[in-house]
Amino acid sequence: MSALGRLLGLVVLLVTLCIGLVVAFAITAIRPQALLAGIVISCTTVILVMIGTIVVSRPGWILWLALPALALTGLGAVMLAEDLGVSRSGEPTEVVVVEHTVDVDSSLDSSSDRHRKAYTHTYELERTDGSPVEKPIIYRGEDGYDDFDTGDTITALVDPEGEAPTEPADSVNVGADLAILIVGFIGVLGVYGMSSLLLFLKPPTARDAR
């Protein structure tokens, strides 16, 4: 691939990343209940841009800088889409944790021949008037939430329509999610800009000319 082709490829990838993230956020902002669609679009966009970066990146070390920046951008995008959806559709509600269960799934890690465990904590809730909350709080990780357990009263963001996930109000931090996204995106811009500069400065070779 010629230097011009690589440069155009980087531009296309950057535009694709911007369009994909904007579409995902627009869907989440307009219809918070479509949170899953926004997350899927964000993840798909970042994965496609990663694959495209592998194809057009040169020299190889640019790739190793681009992939972490893209991964950070994707993480920030998913976290921001989820918190935006929850904060827009969820209403702050005083709830009581009535039950806390832990599911443990074990799978064999083929690379090490060891079993890996995945922990899912489910917190069943009810309002202070005794009415149940349709969707429980879900936490995926070994230890669960440290701030509350069965019998505690907390403030949660609850979707009255029961479509968006229920989250503890304290765990929703749009500002932190936005900061992660911005840092990742600035990293992507820096890596792509560095790659573009190298393409301009490096003299063309016979291989690039083909």
Q: What is the pLDDT along the chain (210 residues), one digit of tens a residue?
A: 676 777 788 888 889 988 988 888 788 777 766 777 888 888 888 888 888 888 876 656 677 788 888 889 888 888 887 787 777 778 899 999 999 999 988 776 666 667 778 889 999 999 999 999 988 999 988 888 888 899 999 999 998 887 778 889 888 888 898 899 999 999 888 888 887 777 666 655 544 445
Q: So what's the pLDDT on residue 209? A: 47
- Tell me the pLDDT tens digit for each residue of 150-175: 999 999 999 888 777 888 988 888 88
Residue 70, Cβ neighbours under 10 Å: how many?
Answer: 23
- Token reading at 51: 């694959």
Rg (CA), the chain: 22
Q: Positive or negative CA dihedral for 131, 32, 167, 165?
A: positive
